Amino acid sequence: MPSTTKATLPRFPSTLFGWVNRLLRIDLSSRRIRAEETAHHLPAFLGGRGLAAKILWDEYPRPVVPFDPRNPLIITPGALTGTIAPHSGRTCVASFSPACQPYNWFTRSNIGSDWGAMLKRAGYDGLVITGASDTPVRILISDDEVSILPADEYWGLDTIDLQEALTNSDGTRVRTLTIGPAGERLARLATIHSAYTSAAGHGGFGAVMGSKKLKAISVIGTGQVPVANIDELRTLFRAVGAEARTQRSRPKDLSGENARLQSEMGGGSIRPYACTASCPAPCRTRYADIQGVHFNRKWTGVMACCSGRFGGGQRDYIYDWDLGFRGAFEMNMYANRLGLNHWELLVGIVPWLRMCHLQGAIAGVNSHDFDLNSCSFWANLLHDIAYRVGAGDALAEGGWRAAALLDWGVDIMPRYYTGWGYPGHWDGHAAFINPTVFPFWLVAALHWAVATRDPMPSQHGYVEFPLYWGPFTDGVLYDKPRMGGLKPVTWDHLRAIGERLYGRADTLDPASGYEGKERPAAFHDLRSVMKDCLPTDDRMFPLIYSYNTDDRFCRIGDIEGPDVEAAILRAGTGLDWDTHELERASERVLNLERAIVVRHWGRTRQMDERVLPSFEYDENWVNPEIGARMQLERSKFVPLMDAYYRLRGWDVESGWPTEQKLCSLELDGVHAKMVDGARQAQARLSELPPALPVKDWHKDDPERSQ
């Protein structure tokens, strides 16, 4: 067992607010621990996702294999993480991804809870981990003192048992990122986990930690993050919270639910829960002591995102099983403890396996008959994936790879995976979980085309928001009724907001077509970066719609909703930036990310268009304003891509950022390095295979969602 390595790190002078001017670097191979300043990257690259991209560009002229010790695991809170800026608790995790296809792009994920806030309070804008240990280790950061500690005794623990063990050893203030058995075994759908339910899900970064034999990263921070105007930040926190409480479903009187748990569920309790730091309007609930169905034990935790689909029993016919609440909650928490990505499981792997079974391609998995109504089947499936047992060894590679490895439903799999190795999400086609109709998924198609992963977790602002706020709720596309019977947001409201925000009313017209959709696509691409760098909550920001104004356009006091991010940044950092300047910084990050994939893999427009077959078949839902199922028409979409590239400042033929564009963003010298790297990549890499065709297995199903 290796001995403990400790270092006491210096702090650097800083005139910054929000940022703390220190980056922590740890090399697990050499066991070197050091710190360096971050001020030279800030505020130009904002923090979070932007800081990660800048570090990667400067230090990695060529890509590395995800499980190579040289692969950096970059963990960067945002500019305002650790302050009371509203919804600022998320943290970016970035690396060369083992989950991505066709290449292991450098990409990112986000994790909530309050780990990132604690890191900032310990005095760090970010953490870069390279190298790999020969034996299990963990990292403990306690303000200026950083240690690499043996973790043999913790290897094998699940994500929550590990956190509880470290709370016992390091104290109740400690916050931990950890991996479960799936990460230890390098499953490409392994998460990095914190608290009950927060996870860096997409990207497979739990496997990157596992490849480094790194079980956990714990932090204790006792300092404060300096802010420029605490009174203004408090005012914005309260005002945004008040707005959020009129928008979101949220826990109110839970006495009835607690009584039902006692009378119908065999016990347990429920209380409100905030899934991230600095949340002014908690919308989650924490369940405690829920009796399991398969395991003879009680479970405590939270259900979030798509986790309810473990239970099936949903309107969408593809989720046609029924585990009930207790079974769903148990499988949700079991998957969390194993460190498995729920989205990959519930939107990709399980729907694909279900169709393989219906088509007669499989009878079961390993020795277990295929039965989604059985908690025992689910428990065995999750166990076998996390521990790589039998067919679970291939399934741990993710559904995209598993289909070929197992030779199960190779032609079925693309129906559930939109692109880059990721299951569908707000695309109107591959995902049966997000009601999305034409023409709104055209913007999603543009986002998917230029992404390095599933782009939608930080881009709900266009594809989801109009459908949720507009007349398609109340059982039209969404089952969810309006809160408190509030007046609807009409299509006239939406068209006026489209004119105001994107410069064209038809961008939010349900009966419109392809024209002009490049505008919201470009707008929300920048907002995605902005949200991942400050950060702000993706399901709240940008603040566009409101029930509190006659025109349904959001305002926070005298600040227009889309300008609130800049107001928060000014109050937190003291920067005299308006929204235009914040968008310019976000555009700098976005273009540097594009330059990275061009430099590393020679990425071109032809590669972007590999996602288009995922939209060239009938959509899953029918737009009531159109009355027919629509599909992408390439002859109309290609000009839309042209318009998007021009608006972005990228060459229309190649899809590469132009030298003029990069220099206008003060990225001088990036173009030459990008082009040189792309030429080397094109000489190094074999020609891409053609994109997979997509067969619509559900086209003639009479039970198909309407």
* pLDDT tens string 10-22: 999 999 999 999 9
Length of the chain: 706
Give the chain's mean pLDDT. 94
Residue 231 lies in a domain: no
Is the predicted pLDDT of residue 262 greater than 90, yes or no?
no
Q: Which domain CATH number covers 451?
A: 1.10.599.10
What is the Cα–Cα distance from 700 to 211, expressed in whole angstroms?
45
* pLDDT tens string 630-681: 999 999 999 999 999 999 999 999 999 999 999 999 999 999 999 999 999 9
Is the predicted pLDDT of residue 706 greater than 50, yes or no?
no
In this prediction, residue 32 has a pLDDT band, given cuts at 50, 70 and 90, of very high
By three-state DSSP, how is residue 218 classified?
Answer: strand
In this prediction, residue 299 has a pLDDT band, given cuts at 50, 70 and 90, of very high
Residue 81 lies in a domain: yes
By three-state DSSP, how is residue 125 classified?
Answer: coil
What is the Cα–Cα distance from 624 to 478, expressed in whole angstroms?
12
Write out the residue range of the structural domain in which residue 20 sits.
Answer: 5-220
In this prediction, residue 125 has a pLDDT band, given cuts at 50, 70 and 90, of very high
Assess contact for 418 and 214: CB atoms under 8 A. Answer: no
Do residue 128 and residue 15 come from a single domain? yes
- At 250 the pLDDT is 55
Is the predicted pLDDT of residue 201 greater than 80, yes or no?
yes
For 171: left if phi > 0, alpha if psi spans -120 to 50, otherwise beta; the answer is left
Is the predicted pLDDT of residue 316 greater than 90, yes or no?
no
What is the Cα–Cα distance from 534 to 624, expressed in whole angstroms?
38
In this prediction, residue 696 has a pLDDT band, given cuts at 50, 70 and 90, of confident
- At 314 the pLDDT is 64
* pLDDT tens string 153-179: 999 999 999 999 999 999 999 999 999
* pLDDT tens string 61-116: 999 999 999 999 999 999 999 999 999 999 999 999 999 999 999 999 999 999 99
Domain count along the chain: 3
Instruction: Among 192-206, 246-260, 474-488, 634-648, name the one with the lowest average pLDDT.
Output: 474-488
Do residue 271 and residue 390 come from a single domain? yes
- At 414 the pLDDT is 95
Is the predicted pLDDT of residue 60 greater than 90, yes or no?
yes
In this prediction, residue 689 has a pLDDT band, given cuts at 50, 70 and 90, of confident
- First and final CA of the chain: distance in angstroms? 60
Residue 471 lies in a domain: yes
Do residue 35 and residue 108 come from a single domain? yes
In this prediction, residue 702 has a pLDDT band, given cuts at 50, 70 and 90, of low
* pLDDT tens string 557-569: 999 999 999 999 9
Q: Which domain CATH number covers 214?
A: 3.60.9.10
Is the predicted pLDDT of residue 484 greater than 60, yes or no?
no
Q: Which domain CATH number covers 361?
A: 1.10.569.10
Is the predicted pLDDT of residue 512 greater than 70, yes or no?
yes
Residue 201 lies in a domain: yes
What is the Cα–Cα distance from 168 to 156, expressed in whole angstroms?
17
Is the predicted pLDDT of residue 320 greater than 50, yes or no?
yes
Residue 302 vs residues 92, 198, 258: alpha-carbon distances, Å: 21, 9, 15
* pLDDT tens string 396-414: 999 999 999 999 999 999 9
Residue 565 lies in a domain: yes
In this prediction, residue 283 has a pLDDT band, given cuts at 50, 70 and 90, of confident
Do residue 127 and residue 203 come from a single domain? yes
- At 275 the pLDDT is 84
Strand positions, DSSP E, 354-424:
364-365, 368-369, 417-419, 422-423
Residue 690 lies in a domain: no
Do residue 410 and residue 457 come from a single domain? no
Residue 612 lies in a domain: yes
Do residue 438 and residue 467 come from a single domain? yes
Residue 225 lies in a domain: no
Do residue 256 and residue 358 come from a single domain? yes
Q: What's the token pair of residue 95?
A: 């690396």
DSSP-derived secondary structure letter, 510: T
User: What's the whole-model pTM score?
Assistant: 0.96
Do residue 118 and residue 67 come from a single domain? yes
Do residue 547 and residue 680 come from a single domain? yes
Do residue 563 and residue 658 come from a single domain? yes
Q: Angle 490-494-499 (CA atoms, 0-180°, nearest 5)?
A: 150
Express as a percent the part of the chain with pLDDT over 70. 96
Contacting residues for 673 by C-beta, under 8 A, at least 6 apart: 61, 595, 599
Do residue 411 and residue 449 come from a single domain? no
What is the Cα–Cα distance from 398 to 699, expressed in whole angstroms?
25
* Mean pLDDT within 178-190: 98
Do residue 444 and residue 564 come from a single domain? yes
Sign of torsion over alpha carbons 271, 274, 280, 283: negative
Determine how β-strand 137-142 pairs with β-strand 214-220: parallel
Instruction: Among 345-359, 406-420, 455-469, name the one with the lowest average pLDDT.
Output: 455-469
* Mean pLDDT within 20-31: 98
